Structure 1
Amino acid sequence: MKPPLNSSRIRRLSKLVNMGSKVAGRTIAEKALATFNAHEPGVPIDRSRQITTINDVAKELGSMRGVMTKFGQMLSYVSTPIPLELRSPFSSLQDSVPPMSKELVDEIIRQELGDGPDGVFAIWDPEPIAAASIGQVHRAVTSDGAAVAVKIQYPGIKNTITADLSNLRLIAKGLKLGYPSMDTDSMIDEIADRILEELDYKAEATNQRKFANFFEGHPTIVIPRVIADYSTEKLLTTELGEGVSFSKFQEYDQEAKDLASETIFRFVFRSLYQLRSFNGDPHPGNYLFGEDGRVTFLDFGLTKHFGKQEIEIFEHLIIAMVIDKDPVAFSASIKSAGLLSESCDLDVEQIYDHFVPFYESVMDNNKFAFNEDYTSRLFAHTFNQKAPIAKYLNVSPSFVVIQRINLGLYSILAALSAEMNFRGIAGEIWPFTKTPPSTDMGAREVNWLKNLDEGTAKQ
């Protein structure tokens, strides 16, 4: 149920309506209110344990929203061999969170923007509509009639997260026992760097602008614009996304799920190969689903940007594995990429066969079905310490965030029961193939790509 608008909000809204600014036959305020009211709150609110002070952050979030909780969140939606009854307790971490008190929220906004929310915004919803990994999200309408989402960072969360990073070192020690060739220090440093970047909303705003500018005009990929005047290091305001939640979207038919899955797949790999960036947080709460395959992508805090040489490494691996199916070339490329110790004395066929499951969805020009059986097998295969190759494996810094494709993205696609010719779609995207459109969505992308190329040429 949507929270009702109080009389003061209605009065402020009526002032906006009286401005008379027309957009496609409707006032800005009417459009904003329609978007505002269409966005159902997605967080169960428990005011009995609300956060009122920084000390509460350390108490509540130290146990719920630290580094280890990110791992728990991942377990809740990643298809793994871990029994469902053991995964289920983590599912509440996806969206259940003790909210900040209204007084604390008012204080934070006053500190960041110079006035309380009722003074800054024409309409302000005091109840959060979503839980971010390090804060909570409220909906609002700005003074010029824009419906927005306002992400507010928990005060003191930086200290809590920084202290919790020590837990990563414990994980690293365990990994080292099973994978002696793994450079766990470099891997943990990379993870820590990405997590710490999430604490800076200015950096996230920069990431989101980059993605929004790149995908502007795309037929199915939607990135909300950042509203700079209402954003700071601890406050991020963007356009309010439209669409239904992941859990609600599960009720839709398979055709709708397949279209959305194709959009998500295109978003990830267009970002990687054209933008040289990867939004490394494929969490169910970071998608809103619309009509005809439209997906709105949220939360760009955990983003990895790659250099040209790093992308070329990814390309060489795909060419050797998928295009040429050449064990000798793949073995050389995987060692050069830092994913396998040079001391590995296994024959090239064994090395090649070990990595085939990671490329299975695009190995052949046929339909491939993502399901829990596949992702569970992939998870077990990834962490099989008894495999002959295990003692030679490594994860170089460039590949740390990319592993979220195997563990996160593929689980999202499995949850949507996605089945299509992913090789055909990938062929459109890979810079070394660029095949003609293989789907209706691919055909719809053509004009967007043309405009993208023309815009790039003008720069």
Structure 2
Amino acid sequence: MPLRAKRAAALGKVVAGHAVRSAITTAMKPVSADVAARRDADILRFADDLVAVAGSMKGAAQKLGQLLSVVDVGITSTSARDEFTARLAPLFDNAPRIPDETMHGALERELGELRARIVSLDSGAIASASIGQVYRGQLDDGRMVAVKIQYPDIASKVRADLKNLQLVTKLAAKKMPASNTQAIVAEVQRQMIKEVDYRAELAHHQRIFDAFQGHPAWRIPEPIAQLCTEHVLVTEYLDGMAFDGLAEQDQPVRNLVGEAIYRFYCGEMYRTGFFCADPHPGNIMLLPDGRVGFVDFGLCMDMDYEDAEVQRKVFRALLSGDDDQAFELAVAAGFLADPEAMERSAATEYIRAVSSWHLGDGILRMTPDIARRSVADAVLPSSRFYDGIRNQRLVETHAMARRTEMCVAALLGRLGAEAPWSAIAREYLGMADTATPMGQAIESWAQQR
């Protein structure tokens, strides 16, 4: 049996098994404490099964693991939620490593004579990217670089594995009806096909690097375009504290990191419509100079002007308290596929509930529970808005934008970062002056460019 067929069959068993267990627990409503515990156990078993089957799907598995670990899939207890995330970790934290000699050989073949410019390459990969491994090296001019080398023959494997994700998508769509999971996964599929060609990532990276050179709050590593090919990406090496270590830092440090994360991923999304759609802990670090380092720009979105503008208008209306206008804009933009399924007041209450963490005035300290409530209100059957949202589908153009916001909320919750989030949003929407010292520093930097 071909490899893809074997994986498809195995994934089918996982999905079918979880579907049966879900049907049994659903039929036993109302949900008692015992039933809730059994449901949690079922979902944890599903995580184990999925890791066992999908672990060999390098890039596809990583993206799937990142998506499921952020979105609350119906687990009731905090300890079980944490356990679910931990059990999914092998999908993206412990990707199988290819031997150095194999990867170094791929580098030699890809760069040819230019390989001589990399005078040293450390043994052992410092990270596993979605479709490759990253090594630290040094150029002939003394600069330290990160060398991302694509796994040999990964393109054909990714294309096959991405088809199998549809089996998991069907299950996720039942659990998260309003999230338009199929559209999100379809976008991830398209983006991963692009990621197989590192030249597309280089174009994203170069655009972001050019936009933020000398930025006071964050730093983008310089791409070394002369050494980049379809299968190799070489960039400046950034050495900093990993995101997972930031939880132990003092509150002011966590606040600054959190504000930089919000401004980079969400602020730029509203300001320009071009944004990195992969706010993952592995892509964020705190640098010695106090700035935040951002890496990995394979998954980026470039919204057209109309889509970007309607996002801004809806957010402005919500921040201004004009719920009627927000509703009309949401309907006109197709955010609500079936507006008759929700009363106007319920629809705007739903939108506010999902986005409440960056709509309210004043300083808010983010927590994991705030992030989970936002996701739960948005997509889960447990949502009080479920009857109205079950027939809604988020327009595909905006699916990744909403996912990005949810992922940012989750990151801020892990940090326990606090800031005037709505005031910062008003900055980027042109509704108010700068709200924080970081905003003032960014404004000054922009004026001097």
TM-score (norm 2): 0.80
The one-letter code matched in structure 2 to 1:132 is: A
Q: Alpha-carbon deviation of 1:87?
A: 2.3
Equivalent position of 1:346 in the other structure: 342
Q: Return closer, same or farther for 1:205/1:60 CA change in 2, 3 Å cut-off.
A: farther
Q: Distance in 2 between matches of 1:87 and 1:181?
A: 22
Q: Return closer, same or farther for 1:252/1:299 CA change in 2, 3 Å cut-off.
A: same
User: Which structure 1 residue ranges, 5 or more long, are not aligned?
Assistant: 1-58, 453-459
The reply on whether 1:121 has 2:126 as its aligned counterpart is no
- Any idea what the Cα deviations from partners look like across 1:345-382, whole Å, max 9, x if unmatched? 42210110111122212323211121011112122222
User: Which of 66, 72, 83 is the aligned partner of 1:73?
Assistant: 66
Q: Alpha-carbon deviation of 1:307?
A: 1.1
Where 2:248 maps in the other structure, the secondary structure is coil
Equivalent position of 2:427 in the other structure: 428
Q: Distance in 2 between matches of 1:422 and 1:185?
A: 30
Contact 1:181 1:394 in 2 (8 A): yes
Q: Alpha-carbon deviation of 1:291?
A: 4.5
Matches within 5 A, 1:358-397: 358-385=354-381, 387-397=386-396
- Any idea what the Cα deviations from partners look like across 1:211-235, whole Å, max 9, x if unmatched? 1111112101101111012111110
- Any idea what the Cα deviations from partners look like across 1:249-291, whole Å, max 9, x if unmatched? 2221111010111111111234223342121111100011124
Matches within 5 A, 1:432-443: 433=431, 435-443=432-440
Paired residues, what number? 390
Equivalent position of 1:21 in the other structure: none
Equivalent position of 1:249 in the other structure: 246
User: Which of 215, 229, 232 is the aligned partner of 1:232?
Assistant: 229
Q: Distance in 1 between matches of 2:380 and 2:241?
A: 37
The reply on whether 1:105 has 2:103 as its aligned counterpart is yes
The one-letter code matched in structure 2 to 1:444 is: A
Equivalent position of 2:164 in the other structure: 167
Contact 1:76 1:87 in 2 (8 A): yes
Q: Distance in 1 between matches of 2:84 and 2:288?
A: 35
Equivalent position of 1:205 in the other structure: 202
Equivalent position of 1:401 in the other structure: 400
Equivalent position of 1:32 in the other structure: none
Q: Alpha-carbon deviation of 1:172?
A: 4.3
Q: Distance in 1 between matches of 2:268 and 2:388?
A: 31
Equivalent position of 1:28 in the other structure: none
Where 1:126 maps in the other structure, the secondary structure is coil
Where 1:351 maps in the other structure, the secondary structure is helix
Q: Distance in 2 between matches of 1:185 and 1:60?
A: 20
Q: Return closer, same or farther for 1:185/1:381 CA change in 2, 3 Å cut-off.
A: closer
Q: Distance in 2 between matches of 1:417 and 1:79?
A: 18
Q: Distance in 2 between matches of 1:197 and 1:61?
A: 21
Q: Alpha-carbon deviation of 1:441?
A: 1.1
The one-letter code matched in structure 2 to 1:65 is: K
User: Which structure 2 residue ranges, 5 or more long, are not aligned?
Assistant: 1-51
Equivalent position of 2:217 in the other structure: 220
Matches within 5 A, 1:52-91: 63-76=56-69, 82=75, 83=80, 84-91=82-89
RMSD (Å), alpha carbons: 2.5
Q: Alpha-carbon deviation of 1:191?
A: 3.0
Contact 2:265 2:276 in 1 (8 A): yes
Equivalent position of 1:412 in the other structure: 411
The one-letter code matched in structure 2 to 1:419 is: E
Q: Alpha-carbon deviation of 1:200?
A: 1.5
Greater CA drift, 70-79 or 288-297: 70-79
Contact 1:78 1:412 in 2 (8 A): no
Contact 1:181 1:341 in 2 (8 A): no
Contact 1:66 1:160 in 2 (8 A): no
Equivalent position of 1:96 in the other structure: 94
The one-letter code matched in structure 2 to 1:416 is: L
Q: Alpha-carbon deviation of 1:327?
A: 2.8
Q: Alpha-carbon deviation of 1:426?
A: 1.5
Contact 1:148 1:237 in 2 (8 A): yes
Q: Alpha-carbon deviation of 1:414?
A: 0.5
TM-score (norm 1): 0.79
Contact 1:220 1:292 in 2 (8 A): no
Where 1:165 maps in the other structure, the secondary structure is helix
Q: Alpha-carbon deviation of 1:190?
A: 2.6
Greater CA drift, 130-139 or 267-276: 267-276
Contact 1:80 1:375 in 2 (8 A): no
Q: Distance in 1 between matches of 2:191 and 2:223?
A: 21
Where 1:389 maps in the other structure, the secondary structure is helix
Q: Alpha-carbon deviation of 1:92?
A: 3.6
Contact 1:212 1:223 in 2 (8 A): yes
Q: Alpha-carbon deviation of 1:183?
A: 7.0
The one-letter code matched in structure 2 to 1:358 is: V
Greater CA drift, 84-93 or 436-445: 84-93
The percent of aligned pairs where both chains have the same amino acid is 30
Q: Distance in 2 between matches of 1:124 and 1:179?
A: 45
